[in-house]
Amino acid sequence: MAKLQSINPFTEELNGEFETLETYQVDEIIEKAHETYKTWKHTSFSYRKELFLKLADVLEDDIDACSRLETVEMGMLNHVSKAGLLKTANLIRWFANNFEEILKEKEYETELLRVKEMYDPIGVIFGVAPWNFPFNQLLRAAVPNILAGNTQIYKHSSNVPMVAIKIQELFEKAGFPERVYTNVFVSSSLSEHITSNKYIAGVNLTGSEAAGSAVGALAGKYLKPSVLELGGNDAFIVLENSDLDKVIELAVNGRVRNGGQACNASKRFLVPENMYEIFLEKYKIAMESLIIGDPMDEKTQLQPLSSEKAIKDMENQVARAISSGARLITGGKRVDRKGFFFEPTILADVTPSVSSFNEEIFGPVASVMKYKSIEEAIDFANGADFGLSAVVVGNDEKEAIEIGKKLDGGMIFINMIAGSRASLPFGGVKKSGYGKENGPDGLKAFTNKKVIVI
């Protein structure tokens, strides 16, 4: 039986090992989740609301333990983790307080007919979660799925098993019926077996392009609806009328938050020709001044990467970018100390022929490009295979909005770094995936919109 390992990215020490399930055990869990679904889907909206409001309270009450798990398993700055967990608790409350209005049955008349329209749940949903925001990104998908009347089983990322266990404990402590939510420790090799199970009604995944492509192919093969929230190589467009000090502040925070390990982080920085050199000069100073250290220390600004493999990936990607034409301004290598730390890195003179133009780098590495016209900037921004989000920074808000309308992406942010809100749809286009999390779309993702015509 294979084991999952949890390793502390700061100390490089083993947190623990966890055994994976056998195939027959997974089958039993899916069958029990299906049996639970048959009763859960008929529960009242008020009952579901009560449970989820309790879940939010339980999470908030246990915030110290939960934040410590995020820090010791994937290296997140502890004070950032606590803020994110409060945000997650409020996300749960938003869904609990709004789902009835969004999903309630509606009646209307059309073409001399009376119509009843409703959103029915569809069954057991198989979820695959990432490690980079291990509480938030799982719960923002699972919560609306379950509120809609489905049950959920989840394969969390293999390097955050203690978070995975904790999430199931939160559901249990909040009083949810058994098998409404179930964590499963399984290897990726079981993904097809799980997806093909007759009781699995849909698949949702947040993860890499490669993982999404594999899971999406399986969902298509077995005709299961799916939502894929994948990677990004998001553009950050600096306009000529920008306040450069504000630009630098946003460019640093937008690139290195969560150690640069965010799908919607800004990764390609597009700067006007006449601001290019001064931008690089100021950006270099700001990036080099970041405090690297213990993620439990509130003074630390840059956390370790999640794993030894992540370090090797960074080294390889930076080397390939340089060999394909990028100019290294600062950083580019592992920090000479214990822990999975990578230097804040700036790659300049990036063009469409440089590897980092069209490749997501999941760490504190910024690719900087110069542009001659807004039209060229838009072409550069839209030239990547990804289309998750983008940032436009400038003093003329109207101009920034008009540029935003021309950008490929599900979310465009004006004069702020990219983020997420419970009430707003989250998702992208192209290789960033399909479908939406959050907002009304997230609640409806795994429902059957049914009409009764009278």
Catalytic residues: 229, 263
Beta-carbon-side half-sphere exposure of residue 351 (alpha carbons within 13 Å): 7
Rounded-to-integer distance, Cα 419 and Cα 197, Å: 35
Q: Report helix angle 63-74 to 45-61, nearest 10.
A: 70
Rounded-to-integer distance, Cα 362 and Cα 310, Å: 8
DSSP letter at 274 equals: G
Give me the phi and psi of 161, to 5 degrees please: -65, -30
Rounded-to-integer distance, Cα 126 and Cα 116, Å: 29
Calculate the dihedral angle through the C-alpha atoms of 127, 131, 136, 139, rounding to the nearest 10 degrees: 20
Q: Under a CB-based contact definition with an 8 Å cutoff, are residues 235 and 391 in contact?
A: yes
Report residue 65 CA to chain centroid gap: 22
For 3, the enclosing helix (H) or strand (E) is strand 3-7
For the purposes of burial, counting CB atoms within 10 Å of the CB of 324, is it exposed (0-12), middle (13-18) or buried (19 or more)? middle
284: tokens are 């270099």
Closest CA to 423 of 138, 97, 102, 94: 94
Q: How many helices and strands (H and E) does the chain possess?
A: 14, 20
Rounded-to-integer distance, Cα 300 and Cα 288, Å: 13
Close Cβ partners of 324 (under 8 Å, ≥ 6 residues apart): 353, 354, 355
Given strand 447-453, what is the order of strands in its sheet? 106-110, 113-121, 447-453
